[in-house]
């Protein structure tokens, strides 16, 4: 069933990759048609996230080739397959993500499960809506994990990221001390301007000592690690007894390196976090309440600064821009014609 007044063409433009680390190609593909439980989204915008770069490089998650990249975005549901959920979404502006292993958001149209689209209220723009899933939900999840684990304070690295800035705002609002770790001097200024109290530079000589003192003083027992590699060892060394290190990305490209003695003596734990897996452990009611909280905060604590927009055809330029200026905000691919 199509949305009223909507004409869906036979063909669409899409970005494709044929092999891990392969070049991106612009192709004309047949527009897919929704099956039971599915919807067809006419895409409007999609960000470039570190997870997209990891997926393009290969080895991030199993997948078949060729495929269309893009792990989140926004658009309008223009066609619905059979079932109550697809019909309820028909004609709605939505935030969306692809089916696991399915073609993604860097195309004029994307097919996905009706459960993977979230209607956007009027106050949320297509741009902010395109970035509603990956970082805002993760930031909210981290705050929830801090509360559940009764952690008095937290540490986060790569803290000048969009997600890091959301955590700065949420931690301030919820009164949970947060030790932010960045790697450039100008990033300290940016986070302090936002009100962050504790910002350390991992490139400074006194970093390890400062981190240890502060983590002990504040009781920072939840360590959010997006960098891994040798930084995990420093984080675990500095962490108070009984801390948990939650690895949530691998920005250094290296495995978690640490002396097992540190973990054994200090009764420290190493765990992993993936938003999709975390959400899968939650029931429908939790998810509904969680998504509604995310929507409410999307123009405030969970907003994302946009550093630039590019049309889909300029995806290579967009990626190059993003790689050079990651801490300055997101680069959005604008896909819709308006
Ligand atoms: N596990 C999950 O479910 C989940 C969900 C959401 C996000 N994440 C992860 O959260 C992190 C932040 O995401 P985002 O979208 O907010 O990022 P972003 O805004 O695109 O910024 C990326 C940040 O990573 C920093 N960075 C890059 N390489 C680094 C390295 N080798 N060492 C230290 N810092 C490095 C950059 O700093 P410079 O400017 O100094 O390069 C920048 O501040 C990403 O790693 C992402 O994959 C994970």
pLDDT in tens, 71-111: 999 999 999 999 999 999 999 999 999 999 999 999 999 99
Residue nearest to ligand 1 atom 20, measured at CA: 326
Task: Verify whether ligand 1 is closer than 6 Å to residue 231 (CB atom).
Answer: no
Task: Verify whether ligand 1 is closer than 6 Å to residue 228 (CB atom).
Answer: no
Task: Verify whether ligand 1 is closer than 6 Å to residue 117 (CB atom).
Answer: no
CB 263 within 8 A of CB 282: no
Does 59 score more than 80 pLDDT? no
Does 4 score more than 90 pLDDT? no
CA distance 15 to 70: 9
Task: Verify whether ligand 1 is closer than 6 Å to residue 247 (CB atom).
Answer: no
Rounded to 5°, angle at Cα 90 from 2 and 119: 155
Please give the number of the atom of ligand 1 that sits closest to the Cα of 135: 6
Tokens of 316: 């290579």
The pLDDT value recorded for residue 133 is 96
141 CA to centre of ligand 1 in angstroms: 16
CB 334 within 8 A of CB 47: no
* For range 321-329, the mean pLDDT: 97
* For range 180-199, the mean pLDDT: 97
Query: pLDDT per residue over 239-297, tens digit each?
Result: 999 999 999 999 999 999 999 999 999 999 999 999 999 999 999 999 999 999 999 99
CA distance 51 to 66: 18
Could you tell me which of 71, 219, 77, 215 has the C-alpha nearest to residue 157? Answer: 215
Query: pLDDT per residue over 132-160, tens digit each?
Result: 999 999 999 999 999 999 999 999 999 99
Say which range, 3-17, 156-170, 266-280, has the weakest mean pLDDT: 3-17
CB 211 within 8 A of CB 234: yes
257 CA to centre of ligand 1 in angstroms: 19
Q: What is the mean pLDDT of the chain?
A: 96
The pLDDT value recorded for residue 338 is 53
Could you tell me which of 151, 185, 166, 172 has the C-alpha nearest to residue 294? Answer: 166
pLDDT band at 337 (very low <50, low <70, confident <90, very high): low
CB 118 within 8 A of CB 288: no
Question: How far is CA 63 from its chain centroid?
Answer: 19
pTM: 0.96
* For range 118-141, the mean pLDDT: 97
Task: Verify whether ligand 1 is closer than 6 Å to residue 183 (CB atom).
Answer: yes
Task: Verify whether ligand 1 is closer than 6 Å to residue 184 (CB atom).
Answer: yes
CB 174 within 8 A of CB 239: no
Cα-based distances in Å from 2 to 68, 110, 118, 179: 23, 15, 18, 50
CB 97 within 8 A of CB 114: no
Query: pLDDT per residue over 190-236, tens digit each?
Result: 999 999 999 999 999 999 999 999 999 999 999 999 999 999 999 99
Tokens of 62: 């199993």
Tokens of 80: 């619905």
CB 78 within 8 A of CB 45: no
105 contacts: CB under 8 Å, gap ≥ 6: 43, 46, 68, 70, 71, 72, 73, 96, 97, 98, 335
Mutate to test the pocket of ligand 1, among 57, 158, 183, 330 (most ligand atoms within 8 A of CB): 158
Does 60 score more than 80 pLDDT? no
Going by DSSP bridges, is the β-strand pair 220-225/244-247 parallel, antiparallel, or unpaired?
Answer: parallel
Cα-based distances in Å from 136 to 106, 215, 269, 301: 20, 25, 25, 9
The pLDDT value recorded for residue 5 is 78
């Amino acid at each position: 069933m199509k949305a009223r007044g909507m004409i869906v063409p036979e063909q669409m433009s899409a970005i494709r990759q044929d092999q891990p680390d392969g070049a991106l190609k612009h192709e004309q593909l047949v527009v897919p048609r929704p099956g039971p439980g599915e919807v067809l989204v006419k895409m409007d915008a999609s960000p470039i996230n570190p997870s997209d770069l990891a997926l393009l490089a290969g080895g991030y998650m199993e997948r078949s080739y060729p495929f269309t990249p893009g792990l989140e975005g926004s658009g309008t549901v223009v066609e619905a397959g059979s079932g109550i959920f697809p019909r309820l979404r028909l004609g709605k502006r939505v935030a969306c993500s692809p089916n696991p292993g399915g073609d993604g958001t860097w195309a004029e149209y994307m097919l996905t499960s009706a459960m993977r689209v979230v209607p956007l209220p009027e106050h949320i723009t297509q741009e902010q809506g395109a970035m509603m899933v990956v970082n805002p939900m993760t930031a909210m999840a981290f705050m929830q994990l801090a509360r559940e684990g009764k952690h008095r304070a937290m540490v986060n690295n790569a803290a000048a990221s969009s997600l890091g800035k959301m955590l700065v705002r949420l931690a301030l609002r919820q009164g949970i001390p947060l030790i932010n770790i960045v790697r450039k001097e100008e990033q300290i200024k940016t986070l302090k301007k936002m009100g962050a109290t504790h910002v350390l530079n991992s490139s400074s000589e006194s970093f390890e000592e400062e981190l240890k003192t502060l983590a002990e003083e504040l009781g920072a027992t939840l360590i959010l690690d997006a960098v891994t590699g040798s930084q995990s060892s420093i984080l675990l060394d500095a962490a108070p007894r009984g801390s948990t290190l939650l690895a949530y990305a691998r920005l250094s490209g290296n495995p978690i390196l640490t002396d097992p003695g540190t973990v054994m003596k200090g009764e420290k734990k190493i765990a992993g976090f993936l938003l999709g897996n975390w959400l899968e452990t939650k029931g429908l009611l939790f998810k509904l309440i969680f998504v509604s909280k995310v929507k409410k905060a999307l123009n405030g604590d969970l907003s994302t600064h946009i550093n630039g927009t590019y049309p889909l055809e300029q995806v290579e330029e967009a990626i190059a821009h993003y790689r050079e200026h990651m801490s300055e905000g997101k680069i959005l691919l604008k896909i819709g014609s308006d």
